[in-house]
Amino acid sequence: MTLIFIAGGARSGKSRKGEELAISLAGLSKPIFIATAEAVDDEMKSRIEKHQHDRGTAFELIEEAKDLTKVLTQINPGATVLVDCLTLWLSNNMMGEEADTNQSVILAARARTGTTIFISNEVGEGIVPMHPVSRQFRDLSGIMNQEFARAADKVYFMKFGIAQELK
């Protein structure tokens, strides 16, 4: 069992790096892609379709916006898994009843025998948001990223499409 955490800003190459790692680690089997995005509007639907097109058939797709713990405990425990992305998962859970927590997801990933790769956005390097909900999201995101990075065996930070290995 290996946990890998990849974070970076928007369009930093996080997803591409995660996909490359997942494919290389999966060997002859197909890795599982757990997508947390929800098509809540036309622009998001278009983004999701582009990501799906870019991935092609290299992954088995599971769409789960909120309950990562459940999915991670139900899938093949030896499979290589890519979760993209924790930031959307956090946002989805903030907008409704929380299905699971950082620690329950980490424990579910740790219980697996295969590699689990988590993708997340770094949102704390910008300005302090003006709206209270935005500040709460930024704070919760920072705490989440710290918890996943601490639990991970390997941590990468993406900048300009270049992976910096931090751990």
Residue numbers annotated as active site: 51
Contact 112, 69 (CB under 8 A): no
Question: What are the φ and ψ backbone dihedral angles of 18, each rounded to 5 degrees?
Answer: -60, -45
Residue with tokens 């500040």: 135
Contact 146, 112 (CB under 8 A): no
CA distance 103 to 105: 5
